[in-house]
Amino acid sequence: MITIQSQYLGELRTQAEHVQSHTQILTDAPTDNHGKGEAFSPTDLVAGALGSCMMTLMGIYAQREEIDLKGTTFEITKIMASNPRRIGGVVIHFKFPAHLKDISDKHKSALQHAALTCPVAKSLHPDLNQSVSFEF
């Protein structure tokens, strides 16, 4: 079953459609690689997929344990490397809302474990440095 259909639009831009939902996204080459930087780059999507996957796995745990993660945020810094050009590392910082400040250490540890074992994290090359922090 096809998950994504994509088309090259020219000028280093693609349009992808999620087949099931018909949601569309654009990608554009970044300004440091001949592009206009007017949309997510493909490597931005990889970094974003990693953060979103981690958040989703934490959400699954939280839902099961009746913990409200609403309002949790994360920021990602993508670090590019060269020779060959690739993502060399990502820095992800999760910040939990004030109402979660006093959750148990058991839940904090379980949330962190869920994030660090998400399928995207486990699918990326082991040389890609994943620096992840959690602020409760």
pLDDT in tens, 42-99: 999 999 999 999 999 999 999 999 999 999 999 999 999 999 999 999 999 999 999 9
CATH class for the domain made up of 42-135: alpha beta
Where are the domains positioned within the chain?
4-33, 42-135
d(CA 94, CA 50): 12
For the whole model, what pTM was predicted?
0.93
Alpha helical stretches, state H, the chain: 42-64, 105-116, 119-123
d(CA 63, CA 107): 12
Contact by Cβ (8 Å): 27, 49:
no
> Which DSSP category does 19 fall into?
T
Q: Closest Cα to residue 114, out of 45, 70, 36, 56?
A: 56
Q: pLDDT tens for residues 8-53?
A: 999 999 999 999 999 999 999 999 999 999 999 999 999 999 999 9
> Stretch 126-134: mean pLDDT, rounded?
96
